[in-house]
Amino acid sequence: MMDLTWLSTIIGAGCLALGYCIGARCPARIFVFARKAKIAAALASENKQNKKAKEPLEIEKLADILEDFKMVLVVRNDLKMGKGKIAAQCSHATLGLYKKLQHRAPKALNKWEMCAQPKVVLKIESEEDMLVLQDRAKSLKLPTHVTIDAGRTQIAPNSRTVMAILGPVEVVDDVTGELKLL
């Protein structure tokens, strides 16, 4: 009987060479096209989300016209929060509104910063009154941020504690002018 191991070696080498040639040309394109399609779909999805998130707020137009801006923090008085809790909740509200405005109303934010970042803390007697005030602010195109507490310390979870409003002094005063200082 003849030894055919040399024949299998030649056939194996031939198959290896053929596989290399095919693999080097065709499948790479298939994988690259599939990968490019996935990347393109991901970028398209991200662009849609960014377009929604980056629409400038109406307050940007007022930043070009009016000079004095301020932030008002409206604290719910009915929750009977301690001083430290109020300070923390006001900080959350300030930072929440700041983050919202960073990309959607940078001119308004800059105008407020150029005015020395004035903040006024006022009190309101109920959640319902706060929501009515928020609707009034939104109707005048003022940006707002309501802080919702996690409920780990003094108050019930998901309680709306503080609302921040930023805008031209005259417009903000039109919304909050009836409230008293905390």
Per-residue model confidence (pLDDT) at position 18 = 64
CB 165 within 8 A of CB 72: yes
Q: What are phi and psi of 31, to 5 degrees?
A: -65, -40
Q: Model's pTM, two decimal places?
A: 0.70
Matching residue, tokens 């006001």? 90
Q: Which three-class secondary structure string do you get for the chain?
A: CCCCHHHHHHHHHHHHHHHHHHHHHHHHHHHHHHHHHHHHHHHHHHHHHHHHHCCCCCHHHHHHHCCCEEEEEEEECCCCCCHHHHHHHHHHHHHHHHHHHHHHCHHHHHHHHHCCCCEEEEEECCHHHHHHHHHHHHHCCCCEEEEECCCCCCCCCCCEEEEEEEEEHHHHHHHHCCCEEC
Q: What pLDDT tens digit does each residue of the chain (182 aa) get?
A: 556 666 666 676 666 666 665 665 655 555 445 555 555 565 566 555 555 556 778 787 777 677 789 999 999 999 999 999 999 999 999 999 999 999 899 999 999 999 999 999 999 999 999 999 999 999 999 999 999 999 888 899 999 999 999 999 999 999 999 999 99
Per-residue model confidence (pLDDT) at position 48 = 58
